[in-house]
Structure 1
Amino acid sequence: MNDFQMVMASDPTVETVVDLLADLVAFPTESRSSNLDLVDLYAERAAAVGGTITVVPGEAGRANLHLRFGPDAPGGVLLSGHTDVVPAGSGWSTDPYVLTEVDGQLRARGSADMKGFLATALVVMESVDVDGLRAPVHLGLSYDEEIGCVGVHGLLDTLASNESCTPDIVLVGEPTSMRLCNAHAGKVACRIELAAAAGHSSRAATDPSAVHEAAALAVAIEDLNDPSHGVSANVGTLRGGIAVNVLAPTCTMEFEVRHPVDVDPDEVLADLLARVVTVDARLSAFGGHATTEEFIRYPALATDPEIKAVARVEALVDRGAPGPVGFGTEAGLYSDRLATPAVIVGPGDIADAHRPDEHVALDQLDRCIDVLRRTVDSFCINPETRGTP
């Protein structure tokens, strides 16, 4: 009997994962709404099998959760996921908050993004004899990821302040169809508020309009696009004005810039932000203003696939060399704050997320069970063979 077999208290099954997933998706944990019932259930089950529980309070009605299985010691692995989901919306053929199997697909909001991973991770840990772990398994659950990775910061503060929380690697379980990914773009999002004096539209040639000023800034933002360097810039919303014959007294614009790891977003934005200062000076002469507020920032990720811990996970996943994902994740934040390599791998396809009839396939959950079991074995049960960064 090998070490892995000795410390497995039971054999995790996809049926057990499905049962837990049904409980998790029944909580309508849309971003900015409470996730406390889900956190309570998850923590209660983890505590029942020897997990050490730390609830990190966040914004009203939300919380992050840190679980540790095994010794309070360096090394091991951290499995990460977010508890929030995007709004269900309309167009569903089944109840979005009741897990429903249709032709091998488990449909529900959050089934792929990313409660399927959360259910699998906990079921795997429920099957482990925690006393047999030689290095810790950490689980980190965040909130409000879907609105810009804004909720995880309190959790990262807690983890970073714990000297023994230094995992060899972080696995973020976003839906990648169980392919290993090691890179994603970073993002900065800002809101520009403009105000000017209302006036008759016949004075548009001489007096400022908040909408006109915003439109000129929008063109400048469009000019930030630089495909050759992997930079994309988009104005997402622009709202202002009160009537066609009135100089617009207010306008609000929101935009984002996405960038690769080798591009400094502050350098990309420097000229634009200086231009906003110039606009502010011009508007202030008419009793107005222009201000910029940053409301989302997360770093890009580019984890070196040659790091031993990454190479070990690549072998465990066994789906070829790691590559990038086309969406942002918390992996860059984990890597930055904990100074440890982070990768992305989880069940489900991102193409099936954020849409009606979101689903995860049963075979994806089964594959995730296998990968997480062998990851725990490699990094926490047989730590003498684990990869180190």
Structure 2
Amino acid sequence: MALIDDTHDILADLIAFPTVSSDSNLELIAYAADYLGELGARTHVMIDHTGHKANLFATLGPEVDGGIVLSGHSDVVPVEDQDWSSDPFRLREADGLLYGRGSCDMKGFIAASMAVAPRYAAQKLTRPLHFSFTFDEEVGCLGARQLVDDLARLELRPSVAIIGEPTEMRIIEGHKGCCEYTTRFTGFEGHASAPDAGVNAVEYAVRYVARLMELREALKARAPAASRFDPPWTTVQVGRLTGGVAHNVIPGHCSVDWEMRPVTEADRLFVRSRIEAYVADELLPAMRAVSADADIVTEVIGEVAGLEPVDDNEARRIVAELTGANGADVVAFGTEAGLFQAFGMSAVVCGPGSIAQAHKPDEFVSRDQLQSCLDMLCGLERKLTA
């Protein structure tokens, strides 16, 4: 059977695991670990502190440093309130397109990586080939953050990482960071007829959001002159504001989910320092003048480094040779690549499918894109057996 057909079958299995970030991914990880383990791979299943999530790091070839990592995240975004034409957790094929949640983001790449594994298991590799399948990328790259710590503990030192996010097989050598926060406001409830006697958590949250929007505008003037990103500046976005119980009750609690995509570390520090000063100097004193128990607390959901374009990038050279690409791009969306780079690997993002399909109903990846990915992965042979 052709590799594309193997990939199709594996992808069908992967999509059938409903690995939404809020749920466990253990069944998928066990499936992949069994598959690669039967091929002779050395597998490490790394359970998180909850016991409900895990990373898989599996290796074919010699136990030496300098291996090549094929990396994909196992989690997917929710399907609630989306109008799907078919069951999102059952692979459907029509006109050369493979539909299902995670088909392009990014179980298609994982399936292709697993499909080529028997090919490499049958060869005498001189350089290790690693498979890295992580949890909770969609909610702050939590799995990859744990993974690099575990790799350091195990003294595993790969040198190249190919992260198979959907890029239509374009080489991505840089992207912005991704920082996600939840800020919680504790006020003082009361009757709406006497608003000055309470601390309205929703109103203070709105003031906080307004300050974030002011900082968002200020960031536009801080865009580096040579920035290749679109937009070229650091962005700030508010995803959700939740609070209150009724029209006539002063709300005692509110929360704001927001994110920042920094071009530079200096921008991240600029936003954090300005918003923290606004809270300490203006919001909290006003709230506590009414209630000493009022508070504002920000939880860091994830602060993931961007992928910095560098002149000397072995991963870029390898993928360019395999795909025939003449250049590399940058993108605004975030990936786990910056964590691999910070660990000391050269890294690029390159995988099948389009980011335009990700997170949407009727998400799909085409067979043609999967075949292009398989061609690239099979081409690694000369890098692993030389």
Deviates more, 1:78-87 or 1:148-157: 148-157
For 1:240 and 1:100, the matched residues in 2 are separated by: 40
Query: 5 Å matches for 1:33-44?
Result: 33-44=23-34
Cα separation, partners in 2 of 1:210 and 1:92, compared to 1, 3 Å: closer
Is residue 298 from structure 1 mapped to residue 282 from structure 2 by the alignment?
no
Aligned-residue offset at 1:134: 0.3
Aligned-residue offset at 1:205: 5.7
For each residue in 1:189-239, what CA deviation from the matched residue of structure 2 results, as whole angstroms up to 9, or x when unmatched? 222222222234454468642222211111110112123421111222222
Q: Secondary structure at the match of 2:255?
A: strand
Deviates more, 1:345-354 or 1:284-293: 284-293
Identity %: 35
The answer to whether the 8 A contact 1:261-1:299 is kept is: no
Is residue 27 from structure 1 mapped to residue 36 from structure 2 by the alignment?
no
Query: 5 Å matches for 1:197-236?
Result: 197-201=188-192, 203-204=194-195, 208-225=199-216, 226-228=219-221, 229=223, 230-236=233-239
Alignment partner of 2:5 out of 2, 11, 15: 15
Aligned to 2:131: 139
Q: Secondary structure at the match of 1:349?
A: coil
The answer to whether the 8 A contact 2:234-2:267 is kept is: no
Aligned to 2:360: 355
User: What amino acid maps onto 1:223 in structure 2?
Assistant: E
Cα separation, partners in 2 of 1:347 and 1:47, compared to 1, 3 Å: same
Q: Secondary structure at the match of 1:252?
A: strand
User: What amino acid maps onto 2:10 in structure 1?
Assistant: L
Is residue 93 from structure 1 mapped to residue 85 from structure 2 by the alignment?
yes
- Number of residue pairs the alignment of both structures matches: 369
Aligned to 2:331: 325
Aligned to 2:317: 311
Deviates more, 1:46-55 or 1:262-271: 262-271
For 1:357 and 1:246, the matched residues in 2 are separated by: 41
Alignment partner of 2:349 out of 335, 344, 347: 344
Aligned to 1:118: 110
Alignment partner of 2:46 out of 56, 60, 63: 56
Is residue 283 from structure 1 mapped to residue 296 from structure 2 by the alignment?
no
Structure 2 gaps of 5+ residues are 224-232
For 1:139 and 1:270, the matched residues in 2 are separated by: 39
For each residue in 1:51-103, what CA deviation from the matched residue of structure 2 results, as whole angstroms up to 9, or x when unmatched? 00100002332211000110110112111001111123342222222212100
User: What amino acid maps onto 1:124 in structure 2?
Assistant: V
Cα separation, partners in 2 of 1:67 and 1:240, compared to 1, 3 Å: same
For 1:157 and 1:274, the matched residues in 2 are separated by: 32
Cα separation, partners in 2 of 1:328 and 1:309, compared to 1, 3 Å: closer
Instruction: Say what the alpha-carbon RMSD is for the aligned residues.
Output: 2.0
The answer to whether the 8 A contact 1:303-1:343 is kept is: no
Cα separation, partners in 2 of 1:238 and 1:87, compared to 1, 3 Å: closer
Q: Secondary structure at the match of 2:376?
A: helix
Aligned to 2:376: 371
User: What amino acid maps onto 1:356 in structure 2?
Assistant: P
Q: Secondary structure at the match of 2:69?
A: strand
User: What amino acid maps onto 1:133 in structure 2?
Assistant: L
Alignment partner of 1:268 out of 268, 271, 285: 271
Aligned-residue offset at 1:377: 2.4
For 1:95 and 1:215, the matched residues in 2 are separated by: 38
User: What amino acid maps onto 2:288 in structure 1?
Assistant: S
Structure 1 gaps of 5+ residues are 1-10, 383-389
User: What amino acid maps onto 1:359 in structure 2?
Assistant: F
User: What amino acid maps onto 1:158 in structure 2?
Assistant: D
For each residue in 1:263-302, what CA deviation from the matched residue of structure 2 results, as whole angstroms up to 9, or x when unmatched? 3412321021122223223323313222222112111112
Q: Secondary structure at the match of 2:77?
A: coil
For 1:282 and 1:251, the matched residues in 2 are separated by: 16
Q: Segments of 4+ in structure 1 off by > 6 A?
A: none
Q: Secondary structure at the match of 2:143?
A: coil
The answer to whether the 8 A contact 2:69-2:132 is kept is: yes
Cα separation, partners in 2 of 1:100 and 1:199, compared to 1, 3 Å: closer
Q: Secondary structure at the match of 2:274?
A: helix
